[in-house]
Chains A and B, each alone.
Chain A
Amino acid sequence: MKILTTVKKVVDVELTIRVQDGSIVEDGLQYLINAWDENAVEAAVQLKENNNAETTLVSIGGGDNTDMIRKCYAMGIEKGIHVEDPALDKADSSVYAKVLKKVFELGAYDLILTGKQAQDTDNGQAGIMLAEYLELPCVSNVVNIEVMDDSHVKVSRLGDAGTEILEVELPAVITVSDSINEPRLPQMRGIMMAKKKPIETMDLSALGISVEEVGGDTPTSEIVEFMASQTRAAGQKFEGDAADITAKVVDLLANEANVI
Chain B
Amino acid sequence: MTKILVVADIKQGELKGSTAELLSKAGSLGTEKAVVAIGSNLSGLVPDLVNAGSDTQYIADDPGLELFSAGPYAACVAEAARQFAADLVWFGFSESGKAAAPRVAARLGAACATEITEVDISGESIAIVRPAIANKVVQRVKVNTGQLVAVIRAGAFEATEGNSGTENVVQLSPPEPDLKAVIKELVSDASGEIDLADADIVVSVGRGAKDQAGVDLVKDLATDLNAGFGSSRAMVDGGLMAHNKQVGQTGKIVAPSLYVAVGISGAIQHLAGMNGSKVILAVNKDPEAPIFNVTDYGIVGDLFDVMPILREEIKKVRA
Interface positions of A (Cβ within 8 A of B): 11, 13-14, 17, 19, 24, 92-94, 97, 116, 119-125, 128-129, 131-133, 136-141, 143, 154, 157-169, 172, 177-179, 218-232, 234-239, 242-243, 245-247, 249-254, 257, 259-260
Contacts and interface: CB of A to CB of B under 8 A. Distances in A.
A66 to B, nearest CB: 24
Contacts of A124: 98, 102, 114
A17 B137 contact: yes
A259 B278 contact: yes
B185 to A, nearest CB: 4
Contacts of A222: 141-142, 144
B275 A232 contact: yes
A133 B94 CA distance: 23
A100 B124 CA distance: 31
Nearest to A222: B142
B181 interface: yes
A227 B299 contact: no
Interface in B237-293: 243-244, 246, 249-251, 257-258, 268, 275, 278-281, 287, 292-293
A122 B12 CA distance: 29
Contact of A159 (B12, B95, B127, B246): B95
Nearest to A92: B111
Given A93-B112, A242-B306, A132 B103 contact: yes
Contacts of A259: 201, 257-258, 278-279
A162 B187 contact: yes
Contact of A229 (B71, B138, B246, B305): B138
Contacts of A93: 102, 112
Contacts of A172: 180-181
B114 A164 contact: no
Interface majority SS (helix, strand, loop, mixed), chain A? mixed
Interface stretch (B21-29, B51-59, B158-166, B311-319): B311-319
A133 B107 CA distance: 9
Contacts of B318: 260
B254 to A, nearest CB: 13
B262 to A, nearest CB: 12
Contact of B137 (A166, A220, A227, A236): A227
B104 to A, nearest CB: 9
Given A13-B136, A226-B137, A235-B298, A220 B143 contact: yes
Interface in B131-165: 131-145, 148
B48 interface: no
A172 to B, nearest CB: 7
A194 to B, nearest CB: 28
Given A179-B236, A259-B258, A229 B131 contact: yes
Contacts of A143: 243
B181 A232 contact: no
